[in-house]
């Protein structure tokens, strides 16, 4: 087998890892043929033959000897047009670009037309080991519940284990290099949302991935929530969830309470995990490191090897969109943290409204003082439809005795 | 797509599960066409159309309308000849028979010649979700360390967590239905050995699986070993290990000390787990239930679905045998439990012999009295070649002051 000639566009963190492996590891199926960079004179962590380097996408796209283009430059418009041009010229593509893949119907269609392969393991690097089984078993997976963002999992683990505040934990995540200076993509759940959009496409065998899913981040989780959850036997994790029904799926990203001692709850720090439940109820879980130059670069190398071996099984083949169920129709138990005036009769007002909406309470804790004037009341409900709960809370949050917006967190059974 | 017509040979625990799913789940790709049983008049847990039932293998093997034969009758000779005859007549095969698959070069060769598929996920039911990725990524996996026997893991978990004795834990495993009345296949490591033989074949893409691997069971693990290990920061697990080198592999089954807090160490009770390290050092771990009628039946159904979809990627294609490294060449740290007379100078005699063999000690604990006359001394070594250690222990165990065979357990770094 002749080695595939690979061009790498981008020499940032991930690009550096890919280039380093291609240069140093003597992988017989792959040969580094070109590197596209913005700044050719920038100093690099290792020596690269200057003949390999160009600043011009066109030299790569128009070079008939290049077989595969690795897009790791980031951004959207330039990256997308590079990918489209490369596909048009008959090249296979590997990318770790979540924004592009999660809205990638156009490029997947072109790839199908051109009989080219798009490798995208790097978009969910943490559990990319499962890619063949996720795609080849598409249709057999009933439910996926996944921890996909190392920064959020690190923050929640630190808060839970060491009792540090959200702000402190975020600062530590930034110092550890898990979180960017602007970590909002991570902590507002957008990174997880993109990954779960992509994974929902994979397990539904469609490249027409949902463009918008219900998404809540972890910014409003307080130490109180962590502590009360623990008292109730739970741990808080940010998850992406896909639950398939016959012709539709419920997909969301949100923090949830999950039972202590469950395998998913034991996934700590920057690890990622995917829990799968098949159509027959059998559950398995894959855990893997979710971040870092090296895992992402290795994910890309694995895509390159699959392409070199002619393996197309990781590619979704259908263009049928997934019909999304209304997140308001989620039926679950919920954790509520109410902030109320500490005076007689307050709880009665609240429980009356919940009762009017046929919402039964599983437990009530009233303990910590938020201030001289307000206390937290923690309520867990029995199973209720989310929109019914939201309707009740709209009224409750308007009561004069309620002093802040009520915190709502879904409980995973 | 027309449904594949499936014959199931065997109506024991696993067969019952497969038949139940095929009858009740309306899987459009699969149709139950025949059931081969020994005792047609035996009462069954649910009603089966008597026209489906036969006692004669030949009616299935010679029926041109049967596409796939599921062999779940157990045993060896009858099962193997059924499989060979069915392949000869152009049928695909699914089996959960570890003994047959682990020595299955002949049937895989015939299948290759006949262009038929052999599904064997049921042989390592616990982590069969990974089958596509294990086989399609064959060659990229450097190391596999797996917990593959639910009975052993249950026993060791109970001993470790609750302090119950080996005998008591075994009795509980039998009461829970994890262990057979004769549990020696499990606790002597033979079940794990068969599974690791099969998995080593998968990750080396060969159906010529090693017929005999180094194997130790857990019968001699005492509460002392569990407790001392914990003091030293370890948990004892029975693992199957494959470590690939360029042209050979080290494969063994044995109890090992693994660091507390590692993901593999946290796999408890009857769960199975496969930890994979790829050629670039990235580690991931899959955890799944390792036993029970239902998981095994579902593994078989997944094989049937793969066959219905024409997916052959789980089949090893090479007949090249794996060259096994000598287990004596394992280099590792070791835990030793010596049983010695409690008198001055004993430790000096032992450490002198170890020193003669250039074996350095990392720690020594002397504490519990085994009897009035003997005490346990726990030693951990720095890295040493196993055959060097065995040579030293042969001398040590002959010392007059040493009262029992020294217990040796490898430490996983």
Domain CATH number, residue A333? 3.30.70.260
Do A141 and A280 belong together in one domain?
Answer: yes
- Residues contacting residue B350 through CB under 8 Å, at least 6 positions apart: B338, B340, B377, B379, B396, B399, B402
What are the tens digits of pLDDT across the range B179-195? 878 899 999 999 999 99
What are the tens digits of pLDDT across the range A299-348? 999 999 999 999 999 999 999 999 999 999 999 999 999 999 988 899 99
Tokens linked to A175: 């110092």
Residue A40 counted as domain residue: yes
Window 134-153 of B: residues touching A by CB (8 A cutoff) are: 136-137, 140
Tokens linked to B375: 């005490």
**Averaged pLDDT for residues A24-42:** 93
Tell if the CB–CB gap between A280 and B127 is shorter than 8 Å. Answer: no
Residue B297 counted as domain residue: no
Q: Least CB-CB distance to B132: which of A132, A281, A295?
A: A132
What are the tens digits of pLDDT across the range A224-239? 999 999 999 999 999 9
Do B279 and B336 belong together in one domain?
Answer: no
- Residues contacting residue B177 through CB under 8 Å, at least 6 positions apart: none
A322: DSSP letter = P
Q: Which residues pair with A54 in a beta bridge?
A: A36
Q: Is the pLDDT of residue B369 over 80?
A: no
* pLDDT score at B293: 65
Q: Shortest CA distance to A375 belongs to which of A355, A353, A346, A354?
A: A346
Q: Write down the residue that tokens 């690099």 correspond to.
A: A44
How many CB atoms sit inside 10 A of residue A329's CB? 11
Residue A76 counted as domain residue: yes
Q: What's the pLDDT band for B371 if we cut at 50, 70, 90?
A: low
Do B136 and B256 belong together in one domain?
Answer: yes
**Averaged pLDDT for residues A69-92:** 97
Chain A residues with CB-CB distance to B295 below 8 A:
282
Domain boundary among B242, B271, B290: B290
Q: Is the pLDDT of residue A273 over 90?
A: yes
* pLDDT score at A368: 59
Do B147 and B279 belong together in one domain?
Answer: yes
* pLDDT score at A369: 66
Which phi-psi region, left, alpha or beta, contains residue A32 (left: φ > 0; alpha: ψ -120 to 50)? beta
Q: Shortest CA distance to A20 belongs to which of A60, A62, A72, A85?
A: A72
Q: Is the pLDDT of residue B1 over 90?
A: no
Integer Cα distance of B207 and B356 in angstroms: 44
What is the pLDDT of chain A when averaged over all its residues? Answer: 94
- DSSP letter string, A365-378: EEEEESSSSEEEEE
Tokens linked to B254: 């044995």
Q: Mutate which of B124, B286, B293 to disrupt the A interface (most A C-beta within 10 Å)?
A: B286
Q: Least CB-CB distance to A282: which of B279, B294, B306?
A: B294
Q: What's the pLDDT band for A383 if we cut at 50, 70, 90?
A: very high
* pLDDT score at A261: 84
Residue A313 in contact with partner chain B when CB distance is under 8 A: yes
Tell if the CB–CB gap between B25 and A306 is shorter than 8 Å. Answer: no
Q: Which residues of A are catalytic?
A: 195
Q: Mutate which of A28, A280, A303 to disrupt the B interface (most B C-beta within 10 Å)?
A: A280
Q: Shortest CA distance to A144 belongs to which of A268, A253, A218?
A: A253
How many CB atoms sit inside 10 A of residue B106's CB? 14
Residue A299 counted as domain residue: no
* pLDDT score at A212: 92
Do B377 and B251 belong together in one domain?
Answer: no
What are the tens digits of pLDDT across the range B115-159? 999 999 999 999 999 999 999 998 899 999 999 999 999 999 999
Q: Least CB-CB distance to B285: which of A132, A140, A287?
A: A287
Chain A residues with CB-CB distance to B24 below 8 A:
none
User: In chain A, how many domains are there?
Assistant: 3
Residue pair B151/B127 in contact by the 8 Å Cβ criterion: no
Integer Cα distance of A26 and B322 in angstroms: 23
Cα dist. A392→A330, A399, B168 in Å?
15, 11, 53
Residue A117 counted as domain residue: no
Do B283 and B384 belong together in one domain?
Answer: no
Least confident of A200-209, A371-380, A401-410, B252-261: A371-380
Q: Least CB-CB distance to A278: which of B136, B280, B298?
A: B298
Q: Where are the beta strands (DSSP E) in B82-211?
A: 92-95, 118-119, 141-147
Q: Which residues pair with B34 in a beta bridge?
A: B7
Residue B216 counted as domain residue: yes
Window 24-83 of B: residues touching A by CB (8 A cutoff) are: 25
Element (H, E) at A135: helix A131-136
Tokens linked to B197: 């033989």
We report the CATH number of the domain holding residue A25 as: 3.40.50.720
* pLDDT score at A3: 96
Selected residue with higher pLDDT from A62 and B42: A62
Strands A331-341 and A374-381: antiparallel
Do B133 and B171 belong together in one domain?
Answer: yes
* pLDDT score at A227: 95
Q: Is the pLDDT of residue B43 over 90?
A: no
Do B152 and B272 belong together in one domain?
Answer: yes
How many CB atoms sit inside 10 A of residue A382's CB? 11
* pLDDT score at B23: 95
Parent domain of B93: 4-119
Tell if the CB–CB gap between A136 and B305 is shorter than 8 Å. Answer: no
Q: Least CB-CB distance to B313: which of A25, A136, A288?
A: A136
Which phi-psi region, left, alpha or beta, contains residue B86 (left: φ > 0; alpha: ψ -120 to 50)? alpha
**Averaged pLDDT for residues B377-389:** 97
Tokens linked to B284: 């991931």
Residue pair B69/B308 in contact by the 8 Å Cβ criterion: no
**Averaged pLDDT for residues A26-55:** 92
* pLDDT score at B138: 85
Residue B302 in contact with partner chain A when CB distance is under 8 A: yes
We report the CATH number of the domain holding residue A265 as: 3.30.360.10
Report the residue of chain B nearest A299, measured CA to CA.
Answer: B282
Q: Is the pLDDT of residue A370 over 70?
A: no
Domain boundary among A52, A78, A95: A95
Integer Cα distance of A133 and B345 in angstroms: 60
Residue B218 in contact with partner chain A when CB distance is under 8 A: no
Residue B268 counted as domain residue: yes
Q: Write down the residue that tokens 């206390």 correspond to.
A: A375
What are the tens digits of pLDDT across the range A118-168? 999 999 999 999 999 999 998 899 999 999 999 999 999 999 999 999 999
Q: Shortest CA distance to B31 belongs to which of B41, B39, B40, B21?
A: B21
**Averaged pLDDT for residues B362-388:** 87
Integer Cα distance of A207 and A111 in angstroms: 11
Q: Least CB-CB distance to B133: which of A131, A263, A279?
A: A131
User: Percent of chain B scored above 70 by pLDDT?
Assistant: 98
Q: What's the pLDDT band for B178 if we cut at 50, 70, 90?
A: confident
Chain A residues with CB-CB distance to B307 below 8 A:
none
Angle at B63 between CA B92 and CA B293, to 5 degrees: 50
Residue B280 in contact with partner chain A when CB distance is under 8 A: yes
Do A160 and A271 belong together in one domain?
Answer: yes
- Give counts: helices (H), strands (E), chain B: 14, 17
Q: What's the pLDDT band for B370 if we cut at 50, 70, 90?
A: low
Do B138 and B115 belong together in one domain?
Answer: no
Residue pair A143/A249 in contact by the 8 Å Cβ criterion: no
Task: Compute the nearest-CA separation of B39 from chain A (Å).
Answer: 29
Catalytic residue chosen out of the listed positions B16, B91, B98, B195: B195
Task: Compute the nearest-CA separation of B272 from chain A (Å).
Answer: 10
Domain boundary among B290, B319, B346: B290
B195 is catalytic: yes
Q: Is the pLDDT of residue A290 over 90?
A: no
pTM equals 0.93
Question: How many beta-carbon pairs under 8 angstroms link A with B?
Answer: 100
Q: What's the pLDDT band for A247 if we cut at 50, 70, 90?
A: confident
Tell if the CB–CB gap between A129 and B137 is shorter than 8 Å. Answer: yes
Tell if the CB–CB gap between A21 and B283 is shorter than 8 Å. Answer: no
Q: What's the pLDDT band for B103 if we cut at 50, 70, 90?
A: very high
What are the tens digits of pLDDT across the range B227-264? 999 999 999 999 999 999 988 999 999 999 999 988 89
Report the residue of chain A nearest B24, measured CA to CA.
Answer: A280
Do A91 and A172 belong together in one domain?
Answer: no
Residue B229 counted as domain residue: yes
Integer Cα distance of B79 and B100 in angstroms: 8
* pLDDT score at B366: 85
Task: Compute the nearest-CA separation of B281 from chain A (Å).
Answer: 9
Do B78 and B221 belong together in one domain?
Answer: no
According to DSSP H, which parts of B35-104 are helical?
57-61, 77-88, 98-102
């Amino acid at each position: 087998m002749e080695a595939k000639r690979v061009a790498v566009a981008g020499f940032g963190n991930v690009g550096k890892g890919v280039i380093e492996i291609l240069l140093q590891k003597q992988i017989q199926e792959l040969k580094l043929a070109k590197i596209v960079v913005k700044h050719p004179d920038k100093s690099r962590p290792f020596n690269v033959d200057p003949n390999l380097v160009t600043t011009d996408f066109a030299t790569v796209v128009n070079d008939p000897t290049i077989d595969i283009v690795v897009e790791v430059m980031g951004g959207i418009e330039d990256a997308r047009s590079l990918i489209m041009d490369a596909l048009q010229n008959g090249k296979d593509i590997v990318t770790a670009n979540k924004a592009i893949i999660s809205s990638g119907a156009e490029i997947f269609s072109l790839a199908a037309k051109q009989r080219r392969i798009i490798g995208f393991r790097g978009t969910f690097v943490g559990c990319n080991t499962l890619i063949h089984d996720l795609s080849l078993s598409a249709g057999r997976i009933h439910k996926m519940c996944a921890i996909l963002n190392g920064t959020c999992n690190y923050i929640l683990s630190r808060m839970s284990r060491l009792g540090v505040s959200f702000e402190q934990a975020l600062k530590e995540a930034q110092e550890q290099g898990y979180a960017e200076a602007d970590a909002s993509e991570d902590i507002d759940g957008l990174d997880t949302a993109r990954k779960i959009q992509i994974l929902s496409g994979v397990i539904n065998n469609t490249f027409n991935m949902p463009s918008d899913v219900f998404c809540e981040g972890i910014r409003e989780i307080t130490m109180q929530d962590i502590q009360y959850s623990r008292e109730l036997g739970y741990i808080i994790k940010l998850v992406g969830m896909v639950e398939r029904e016959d012709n539709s799926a419920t997909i969301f990203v949100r923090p949830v309470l999950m039972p202590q001692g469950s395998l998913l709850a034991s996934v700590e720090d920057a690890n990622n995990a995917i829990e799968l439940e098949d159509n027959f109820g059998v559950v398995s879980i894959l855990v893997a490191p979710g971040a870092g130059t090296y895992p992402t670069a290795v994910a890309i190398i694995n895509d390159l090897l699959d392409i070199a071996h002619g393996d197309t099984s990781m590619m979704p083949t259908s263009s049928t969109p997934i019909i999304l169920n209304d997140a308001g129709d989620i039926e679950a138990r919920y954790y509520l943290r109410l902030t109320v005036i500490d005076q007689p009769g307050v709880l009665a007002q609240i429980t009356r409204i919940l009762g009017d909406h046929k919402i039964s309470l599983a437990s009530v804790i009233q303990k910590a003082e938020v201030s001289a004037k307000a206390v937290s009341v923690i309520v867990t409900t029995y199973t209720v439809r989310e929109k019914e709960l939201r309707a009740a809370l709209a009224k409750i949050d308007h009561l004069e005795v309620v002093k802040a917006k009520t915190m709502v967190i879904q409980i995973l059974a």
